[in-house]
Chain A
């Protein structure tokens, strides 16, 4: 990793979450220990067992008429401002809000695309309401959200849309770094997004995985996840390009590891083997020693099986090192395809500020990681951090971010 042409610099970041409309407001609320849990009002979930979650407030979008805004999917309303923040930080936005680059490759993760548009299409077919179907379809598929991104910022380029369930956002960032390292791209806008929608909310409700009360990652009394929504983006580029452009380097994507747990579709291997392998691969890829990792942003969904598998893996990997651990999903919800990218942004902010996101809602800590869980107000001098995500189908991804 000593060759500057192969190092992958992070020059921009941004996010929209239920805790805030940008990275700094999200971060401030997170560090204060707030949670976004509230009744869901923007999608139809009457009849579900659980009706609370982490619903984002949609940021204002300039340059769009009210009619245009009404046609955009909720997902696009989340991803465009998050991407805008990342591009602006990377000095890639002109004063008119358009991108400085005509071609900019993207690597983006999602699980649900513009699902409410697809739901609307199906209802229109079943209810014999043909009007507007074309428009619904034109904003449903993931490539169409990327098209909206292209048109909003005036760039085009190769697009890799990764749908590896809840690891999608991490996979997208890892893949962007891979593209840069192997010389297939110089600069990539990368991240993930997902908006709340009826189908997915009801799906998790059917699985009985939604927490009826507070979401408690790594607590022995945990009883489910809190669904959320949002988008997170990074601008990654060759370090040499960033130095030539003279832009601030906020950190580096130092390593990436990914595995597939093939044991069960929704149940992670209970000894945490696949998490351990992904993390060790990321560390090896980054040429980092375990002792250099100061903070881990865990997947930590607060489902009984996920957290115990992760906890076992982290204890084996980190032993008695002073690494600190938290899951930010208790605060901003599980944002599915956005989770890996938002959590990468938050991990980067931990790296930059030395402040650690506390593990909120903790009453009776999981013994394997009890001494690792971050308390309110903790700070640390961090050289490197990890962001880890798991998903249905066994997708598991770990990103190692470093300060230098």
Chain B
């Protein structure tokens, strides 16, 4: 089966419809220490984001829900006539609804256990944002929220492939999205996953996939995941295995953003690598979506026939996708 990539959508600190972050980002303090780190945030007052907060169902929704809806809506916009009962949606999260989850837990630990907000609690659930997406956009196909590290994006693409192969959907929107909360910095610091100077970011990215031969020039040839690791040395071994199973003649888009820069050093031998300044921050599954979007753009800009995009996870696994033109 041929899977075409029909369109994309994105929300990032660089703006709606854009990827990546500004060159200079504000420093934000960790919650539990005076240390600071650059953080790139989405402009929540952008009209394209604000408009969703006026929807009755979305008045109390978390920021991540707005990012997702806007990204999905952009991906769908060029194809208003698609049958929405045959569109599936799968989203990959690394952190999920971290903002409201922290707020709710803060409520019950400070105000008392019976004083948690019954309005806030349902918004902490992993699949709430995607429920808002399909309700708002009128989508009626299969819907999954999936969890994983950055490489969960590849697993989400595999789910889309499965749905199109078994006939559950003709088109699938695959999304990656994250929202920022300062506790994320403490978590990354405690896990030694903060790379000095690399902005932590938030936002969303979407690709609309089709099994119906709509004539798109870029196709998803393969999505391979499951190169799992338990520590950094295993991460290098699995990354080597991951790329050795990718087409050897295709150039590779560099996507390493932190400690996993070592991964690419070990796998670089004899391969053509593309480096891109737009991939300049870490927004986990949203970054993975932006990397795929940037890969699609590069294929078109550079007239490439083929491109491998690795998505290096930081706590779970490596994965890679192969795009062809």
Contact = CB atoms under 8 A, between A and B. Distances in A.
B143 A395 contact: yes
Given A122-B183, A143-B147, A203-B104, A178 B226 contact: no
B191 A134 contact: yes
A167 B135 CA distance: 18
A103 B226 contact: yes
Contact of A393 (B113, B121, B125, B192): B125
Interface stretch (B3-11, B45-53, B126-134, B273-281): B126-134
Contacts of B115: 206
Interface string A263-278: 1011000000000000
A202 B315 contact: no
Interface size band for A = 35 or more
A260 interface: yes
Interface stretch (A42-50, A69-77, A235-243): A42-50
B113 A45 contact: yes
A130 B127 CA distance: 31
Interface string A104-119: 0100001101000001
A123 interface: yes
B237 to A, nearest CB: 11
Contacts of A128: 32
Contacts of A262: 131, 134-135
Interface string B113-154: 111111001111111101100110000101111111100100
A130 B113 contact: no
A163 B146 contact: yes
Contacts of A183: 165
A182 B114 contact: no
Interface in B30-82: 31-33
Contact of A147 (B105, B123, B159, B228): B228
B302 interface: no
B190 A121 contact: yes
B158 interface: yes
Interface string B154-178: 0100110111011010000000000
A339 interface: no
B186 A178 contact: no
B270 interface: no
Contacts of B161: 184
Interface size band for B = 35 or more
A182 B160 CA distance: 12
A144 B315 contact: yes
Contacts of A288: none
A258 B142 CA distance: 7
A106 to B, nearest CB: 9
A53 to B, nearest CB: 14
B114 A206 contact: yes
Contacts of A134: 190-192
Given A181-B166, A392-B125, A164 B226 contact: no
A165 interface: yes
Contacts of A404: none
Nearest to A174: B142
A137 B189 CA distance: 11
A398 B32 CA distance: 45
Interface string A121-140: 11111101010011001100
B126 A47 contact: no
Contact of B162 (A113, A184, A205): A184
A137 B127 CA distance: 22
Nearest to A48: B113
A368 to B, nearest CB: 26
Contacts of B101: 199
Contacts of A204: 121
Interface stretch (A150-158, A341-349, A375-383): A150-158
Nearest to A266: B122
A260 B191 CA distance: 36
Nearest to A124: B32
Contacts of B140: 260
B228 A159 contact: yes
Contacts of B108: 198-199, 202, 206
B143 A142 contact: no
A179 B124 CA distance: 29
Contacts of B102: 122
B109 interface: yes
B215 interface: no
B317 interface: yes
Contacts of A91: none
Interface string B16-37: 0000000000000001110000
Contacts of A181: 166
Contact of B121 (A48, A163, A206): A206
B105 A199 contact: yes
A330 B61 CA distance: 32
Given A111-B125, A150-B228, A157-B226, A394 B118 contact: no
Contacts of A12: none
Given A123-B109, A205-B114, A137 B122 contact: no
B183 A141 contact: no
B187 interface: yes
Contact of A391 (B127, B142, B163): B127
Interface string A175-215: 10011011110000000000000110011111110000000
B226 A158 contact: yes
A80 interface: no
B191 A138 contact: yes
Nearest to A104: B226
B124 A203 contact: yes
A171 interface: yes
A187 to B, nearest CB: 14
Given A105-B226, A138-B191, A163-B145, 10 more contacts: A125-B183, A141-B94, A141-B147, A141-B149, A143-B152, A182-B165, A184-B161, A199-B101, A202-B114, A393-B125
19 contacts: A122-B105, A122-B183, A125-B183, A134-B191, A141-B149, A143-B152, A143-B315, A156-B226, A161-B147, A162-B145, A163-B93, A163-B127, A163-B145, A202-B108, A202-B113, A203-B124, A207-B122, A260-B143, A262-B135
Interface of A: 44-49, 103, 105, 110-111, 113, 119, 121-126, 128, 130, 133-134, 137-138, 141-144, 146-147, 150-151, 156-165, 171, 175, 178-179, 181-184, 198-199, 202-208, 258, 260, 262-263, 265-266, 391-395
Q: Which 10 residue pairs are nearest across A and B when measured between Cβ atoms?
A: A393-B131, A158-B226, A163-B126, A262-B135, A203-B121, A133-B190, A47-B113, A143-B316, A182-B165, A125-B32
